[in-house]
């Protein structure tokens, strides 16, 4: 079963969605409760709690998506490096291969 937030955001399959909602709800609780303890105004504290949820959720969403994009870029570079290592290993194009005097004079 999948859980759809607001009817369109599939929390189970979208990367970072679950964590963003969880951190957003925690931020909502902290901000709302903190404002209530400071001011004892219920309605205003609920407004702050909603704002805290939105800010925390979006903040963590962008942070998580940025880290995910960096991870995918590093993964793609590593995969390409391994592919090149396998392709060029032992050939004259291998950068790790030490050239001898005979090979230098041929090129």
Characterize 25-46 residue by residue with b for buried, 16 or more Cβ atoms within 10 angstroms of its Cβ, and e for exposed: eebbeebbeebbeeeeeeeebe
Residue-number span of the structural domain to which 55 is assigned:
15-87
The answer to whether residue 107 scores a pLDDT higher than 80 is no
Whole-angstrom distance, CA of residue 22 vs CA of residue 68: 18
pTM: 0.69
10 Å CB burial of residue 6 (0-12, 13-18, 19+) is: exposed
Give the number of domains in the chain: 1
9 within some domain: no
Q: What tens digit of pLDDT does each residue of 5-20 get?
A: 666 667 777 788 889 9
100 within some domain: no
Whole-angstrom distance, CA of residue 67 vs CA of residue 75: 12
Mean pLDDT of 75-93: 83
Query: What pLDDT was estimated at residue 9?
Result: 67
């Amino acid at each position: 079963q999948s859980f759809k937030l607001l009817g369109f955001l599939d929390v189970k399959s979208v990367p970072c969605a679950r964590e963003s909602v969880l951190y957003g709800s925690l931020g909502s609780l902290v901000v709302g409760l903190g404002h209530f303890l400071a001011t004892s105004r219920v309605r205003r504290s609920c407004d702050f709690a909603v704002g805290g949820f939105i800010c925390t959720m979006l903040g963590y969403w962008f942070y998580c998506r940025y880290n995910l994009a960096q991870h995918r870029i590093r993964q793609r570079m590593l995969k390409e490096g391994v592919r090149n290592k396998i392709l060029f290993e032992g050939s004259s194009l291998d950068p790790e291969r030490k050239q001898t005097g005979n090979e230098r004079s041929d090129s």
